[in-house]
Amino acid sequence: MSLLLSTWVKFFFLFAPFFVVSMFLSLTRGETPAARGKIANRAVMAAFLTSLVLFFFGTPLFEVLGITLDSFRIGAGILLFLSAISLVREGVRVHAEVPAEQRDDVSVVPLAIPTIIGPATIGTILVYGAELSGLDMALGLTGMVLALACLLVLLHLASRLEKLLGNTGFNILSKITGLILAAMATEIVISGLLGVVARVS
Q: Is the pLDDT at 103 greater than 60, yes or no?
A: no
In tens, the pLDDT along 130-139 reads 999 999 999 9
Q: Write down the domain spans for the chain.
A: 2-200
Q: Report how far residue 184's alpha carbon sits from residue 30's, in angstroms, rounded to the nearest whole number.
A: 36
Q: Report how far residue 121's alpha carbon sits from residue 76's, in angstroms, rounded to the nearest whole number.
A: 8
Q: Report how far residue 152's alpha carbon sits from residue 20's, in angstroms, rounded to the nearest whole number.
A: 10
Percent of the chain with pLDDT over 90: 79
Check residues 110 and 152 and name the one with the higher pLDDT: 152
Q: Are 159 and 33 in contact (CB under 8 A)?
A: yes
Q: Which of 114, 100, 106, 115 is nearest to 31 (CA)?
A: 106
The predicted pLDDT at position 160 comes to 96
Q: What value does the mean pLDDT of the chain take?
A: 91
How many C-beta neighbours within 10 Å does residue 46 have? 18
**187 phi/psi in degrees, rounded to 5:** -65, -40
In tens, the pLDDT along 47-72 reads 999 999 999 998 888 888 888 999 99
How confident is the model over 121-150, as a mean pLDDT?
A: 95
What is the CA 120 to chain-centroid distance, rounded? 8
